[in-house]
Chains A and B, each alone.
Chain A
Amino acid sequence: MLDIQNLHASVEGNEILRGITLQVRAGEVHAIMGPNGSGKSTLAQVLAGRDEYDVTDGSVLYGGEDLLEMAPEDRAREGIFLAFQYPVEIPGVSNTYFLKAALNAVRRHRGQSELDAVDFLRLVREKMKLVKMDESLLQRPVNEGFSGGEKKRNEIFHMAVLDPTLAILDETDSGLDIDALRIVADGVNALRGPERAFLVITHYQRLLNYIVPDFVHVLVDGRIVRSGGKELAFELEEKGYGWLEQEARSGTTQADKTAPVGATA
């Protein structure tokens, strides 16, 4: 589904991603972990099409298509969803209105008919249950005045409605208390399925107690320095990132030796 080869990206001349290689297949959940500043969020933004990042080398194929050639809205319509680390407020635009416009843009692209108000509301009510969202958040302006937890839940709610093929969660766990974390994780788990893949970006292992990944990758200085199964996350929890950072900087990383790691290889 997603095939990233030797991806390099920089912002204002600073190289952040320095050769990422990663394959994701339908039905898989990949966790991307790493210390602050390792490039995790940059990877998410580049995949979603944020244009302040320059891709300087490498390629990304999504469903066999050149993802990097696609406008961000086309990526979304083709089924890529990015749950933002910091969801953006849009004052005066109700959450429902926004979501209906988005869903219908996606549906038009897929050759489906637009949903009318009644069908849309039915869908929305059903999806809200997934994240136990309060109905009052529907009429409120997008993310405006939402608490941190409500914003994150709202992201998962958008995801549920837009029904993506590849969902990228960018530090969705940050700022959540344990109850909110569980609710968000339950929502994600409910959406897992053989057709859908997840890229779960997180700093902490604790999210992975609830969203159990098939693969874990550790990003250091813009490179994947280690890949493994879910047990790698536990190892990180125990030992921290320091040893991998040291390895990476002394030039003896597993990634260098065996790249591409190819989690699916």
Chain B
Amino acid sequence: MPTTATETIEQLALRDYQAGFETLVEQEVFPPGLDEDVVRAISLKKREPEWLLEWRLNAFRHWQRMSEPTWANVHYPKIDYQAISYFAGPPKKGPKSLDEVDPEILKTYEKLGIPLQERALLAGVAVDAVFDSVSVATTFKAKLKEAGVLFMPFSEAVHEHPELVKKYLGSVVPPNDNFFAALNSAVFSDGSFVFVPKGVRCPMELSTYFRINAKNTGQFERTLIVAEDGATVSYLEGCTAPMRDENQLHAAVVELYAHDRATIKYSTVQNWYPGDPQTGKGGIFNFVTKRGLAAGKGAKISWTQVETGSAITWKYPSVILRGDDTTGEFYSVAVTNGYQQADTGTKMIHVGKNTKSTIVSKGISAGHGQNTYRGQVKILKGAHGARNFSQCDSMLIGQDCGAHTFPYIDVQNPTAQMEHEASTSKIGEEQIFYCNSRGLDTETAVSLIVNGFCKEVFRELPMEFAVEAQKLLEVSLEGSVG
């Protein structure tokens, strides 16, 4: 029973309440609009405890008083937040087989070298037919459980480990942190929850890969990763396939919390639909808040991101270096082609003594793409002996694109050591011709040159991810030269 826009929220909430969860499958999408009742309805759908509802409502009230940030170097038509639907139930019936999937999408998967079975999963083919990876996922779960690692959908964690969720939710990114974080806090649909107990080294790379396949996540996912004293975890987010998405706004929040000597490594390969390369129509607005708190002594948080998709990217994975001797890292490759715009970078906030941060950002602009690095390094008064190294390199491909750099440096302690390097280069005709003259075609040449440019970031990615990221760059930049 599909809903129509004319239905009022009250009716909707009431009916949901009466009908319970049995109608979930039929009840696919909330009608557009956002008010407290919608927030209540979302919470109700997810059978959330009262405290979480209150948490959402508090965030919503903050959000209502906030205004959308305009300082970023991105331009887009005004978003009508009342025209968006804030809850999509279980996925609509997907295609039954690969034959029903858009051949264009399949072609891209093929280029990415994704195995056939995974292509089916990614394309949203009903997973009822049992694929190998289903059993793989089960094996994963057993192994993690044995190690004591909790890894589950956020909504599941709310029910199974409410005390942990309650303790850490919003502890790094408060609900009123910024406009999009507040919106997310009010309406977040699902996400991942990871908890690595004291002294445990997570036995495998955790990835949303399997879970996303099993269940489409919404546009407002929320991820929370906690590593206790001495724990280590590496988390991979996103798949390298272009998930076509008819919805426009994607506002996620990721919180990382690292206790004493804990290490959290978070890698993202983001390739949402970038919009029409010829006209700039459509595509995802990717407005994401990611922050890590290196809370305890000697903790380390490392962000690595490869951002090739989305019409607009607005994200600044940051680290608060609160504990003494903590380390924060940010390695980023951002690609804008077609009419994509990216305003991305990081914040490193040095609070503790002898804290150390490293920033390596590689921006690549092609087509009409506009790429902005925006980064803040802040050394607070008490941060004796803090050190930062920043390197921001931009590469331009073609005549119509742009690269911009906005580094903000705020040093309040004279013992700080700061290094900042920046460069802008252009893929030269010379370089391409040189490759051509050795037998390499232009596309291979561009991919080689760009991959060389991004090398320092790619080597931070887990091996198999690095390979996919390279291929993804090739696909993203296809046709950008000559």
Are A105 and B441 in contact, CB atoms less than 8 angstroms apart? yes
Q: B342 contacts the other chain (Cβ, under 8 Å)?
A: no
Provide the bound-state CA to CA distance between A76 and B440, in Å: 8
Q: B97 contacts the other chain (Cβ, under 8 Å)?
A: no
Q: Mark A81-102, 1 if CB is under 8 A from B, else 0.
A: 1101001111111000011011
Q: B234 contacts the other chain (Cβ, under 8 Å)?
A: no
Are A76 and B437 in contact, CB atoms less than 8 angstroms apart? yes
Q: Mark A61-82, 1 if CB is under 8 A from B, else 0.
A: 0000000000111011100011
When the two chains form the complex, which single residue of A72, A84, A92 contacts B453, counting CB atoms closer than 8 Å?
A92
Q: B433 contacts the other chain (Cβ, under 8 Å)?
A: yes
Are A92 and B452 in contact, CB atoms less than 8 angstroms apart? yes
Interface residues of B in 312-332 (CB under 8 A from A): none
What are 15 inter-chain pairs, A to B, with CB distance below 8 A?
A48-B437, A71-B441, A72-B436, A73-B435, A73-B442, A77-B439, A81-B438, A88-B434, A90-B448, A101-B444, A101-B448, A102-B438, A105-B441, A109-B439, A141-B452
Residues of B within 8 A of A141 (CB): 452
When the two chains form the complex, which single residue of B429, B437, B449, B454 contacts A90, counting CB atoms closer than 8 Å?
B449
Are B439 and A93 in contact, CB atoms less than 8 angstroms apart? no
Q: A219 contacts the other chain (Cβ, under 8 Å)?
A: no
Q: A223 contacts the other chain (Cβ, under 8 Å)?
A: no
Provide the bound-state CA to CA distance between A158 and B437, in Å: 11
Residues of A within 8 A of B23 (CB): none
Are A72 and B437 in contact, CB atoms less than 8 angstroms apart? yes
Q: Mark B437-479, 1 if CB is under 8 A from A, else 0.
A: 1111110100011011111100000000000000000000000
Q: A52 contacts the other chain (Cβ, under 8 Å)?
A: yes
Q: How far is the CB of B83 from chain A (nearest CB, A)?
A: 44
- For residue B436, which residue of chain A has the nearest CB? A72
Q: Mark B104-148, 1 if CB is under 8 A from A, else 0.
A: 000000000000000000000000000000000000000000000
Residues of A within 8 A of B452 (CB): 90-93, 141
Provide the bound-state CA to CA distance between A103 and B442, in Å: 15
Provide the bound-state CA to CA distance between A89 and B444, in Å: 16
- Known contacts A52-B429, A90-B448: does B455 contact A102 (CB below 8 Å)? no
Residues of A within 8 A of B99 (CB): none
- For residue A88, which residue of chain B has the nearest CB? B434
- For residue B425, which residue of chain A has the nearest CB? A91
Q: How many residues of A contact B (CB 8 A)?
A: 32
User: Which A residues are closer than 8 A to B by beta carbons?
Assistant: 48-52, 71-73, 75-77, 81-82, 84, 87-93, 98-99, 101-103, 105-106, 109, 141, 158, 162
Q: Mark B414-435, 1 if CB is under 8 A from A, else 0.
A: 0000000000000011110111
- Known contacts A88-B430, A93-B449: does B439 contact A49 (CB below 8 Å)? no
When the two chains form the complex, which single residue of B428, B429, B440, B456 contacts A102, counting CB atoms closer than 8 Å?
B440
Residues of A within 8 A of B453 (CB): 91-92
Are A49 and B437 in contact, CB atoms less than 8 angstroms apart? yes
Most buried by B among A77, A88, A109, A141: A88
Provide the bound-state CA to CA distance between A81 and B434, in Å: 11
Residues of A within 8 A of B437 (CB): 48-49, 72-73, 75-76, 81-82, 84
Are A90 and B434 in contact, CB atoms less than 8 angstroms apart? yes
Are B436 and A98 in contact, CB atoms less than 8 angstroms apart? no
When the two chains form the complex, which single residue of A49, A89, A105 contacts B440, counting CB atoms closer than 8 Å?
A105
Provide the bound-state CA to CA distance between A158 and B451, in Å: 21
Provide the bound-state CA to CA distance between A90 and B429, in Å: 12
- For residue B393, which residue of chain A has the nearest CB? A91
Q: How many residues of B contact A (CB 8 A)?
A: 23
Are B434 and A84 in contact, CB atoms less than 8 angstroms apart? yes
Residues of B within 8 A of A48 (CB): 433, 437
Residues of A within 8 A of B430 (CB): 88
- For residue A109, which residue of chain B has the nearest CB? B439
Are A93 and B451 in contact, CB atoms less than 8 angstroms apart? yes
Residues of B within 8 A of A158 (CB): 438
Are A73 and B436 in contact, CB atoms less than 8 angstroms apart? yes
Are A49 and B436 in contact, CB atoms less than 8 angstroms apart? yes
Residues of A within 8 A of B442 (CB): 73
Provide the bound-state CA to CA distance between A92 and B440, in Å: 17
Interface residues of B in 158-204 (CB under 8 A from A): none
Residues of A within 8 A of B439 (CB): 73, 76-77, 102-103, 105-106, 109, 162
Are A73 and B434 in contact, CB atoms less than 8 angstroms apart? no
Residues of B within 8 A of A93 (CB): 448-449, 451-452, 455
Are A76 and B429 in contact, CB atoms less than 8 angstroms apart? no
Provide the bound-state CA to CA distance between A158 and B433, in Å: 15
Provide the bound-state CA to CA distance between A72 and B433, in Å: 8
Residues of B within 8 A of A49 (CB): 433, 436-437
Residues of B within 8 A of A109 (CB): 439
Are B434 and A92 in contact, CB atoms less than 8 angstroms apart? no
Residues of A within 8 A of B436 (CB): 49, 71-73, 76
- For residue A105, which residue of chain B has the nearest CB? B439
Are A92 and B455 in contact, CB atoms less than 8 angstroms apart? yes
In the complex, besides A92-B454, A141-B452, 8 extra interface pairs with C-beta distance below 8 angstroms are A52-B429, A72-B436, A72-B437, A73-B439, A90-B431, A90-B452, A101-B440, A162-B438
Residues of B within 8 A of A51 (CB): 433
Q: How far is the CB of B103 from chain A (nearest CB, A)?
A: 27
Most buried by A among B429, B440, B441, B454: B440
Q: How far is the CB of B79 from chain A (nearest CB, A)?
A: 38
Provide the bound-state CA to CA distance between A90 and B438, in Å: 13
- For residue B431, which residue of chain A has the nearest CB? A88
